[in-house]
Amino acid sequence: MSKNELKICIKCNRSKTVAEFYVYPNGSLYKVCKECHKARVKANSEKEAIEAGHRAYKEGLIKYEEIEDAIDLYKSCRSRIHSCKYGIGIYQNVDCAWDDPYEFMKDILTKRNTGISFWDNLWDVWKEQRRIYLITGDENEKPELDRVFAHLGIGYQVGTVQCLSDWLNREDGKKVTPIRIRLYKENELVNERHFAYIDKAKKWLESETNHKYSWKKIKNNIDRGRISFHEFEFEIHSLDYIMREYRRELVFSKLSKCRLRKNDKRLKFRWSA
Q: For residue range 84-101, list pLDDT tens digits in order.
A: 888 877 777 888 999 999
Q: What's the first-to-final CA gap in the chain, in angstroms?
A: 68
Report the distance separating Cα 22 and Cα 44, nearest Å.
18
Report the distance separating Cα 189 and Cα 168, nearest Å.
33
Report the distance separating Cα 117 and Cα 88, nearest Å.
29
What percent of the chain has pLDDT above 70? 79
Q: pTM (2 decimals)?
A: 0.60
Highest-scoring range by mean pLDDT, 49-63, 138-152, 215-229: 49-63
User: How high is the mean pLDDT of the chain?
Assistant: 79
Q: Residue range 183-206: average pLDDT?
A: 79
Domain boundaries, the chain: 1-59, 61-172, 179-246
Architecture of domain 1-59: 2-Layer Sandwich (3.30)
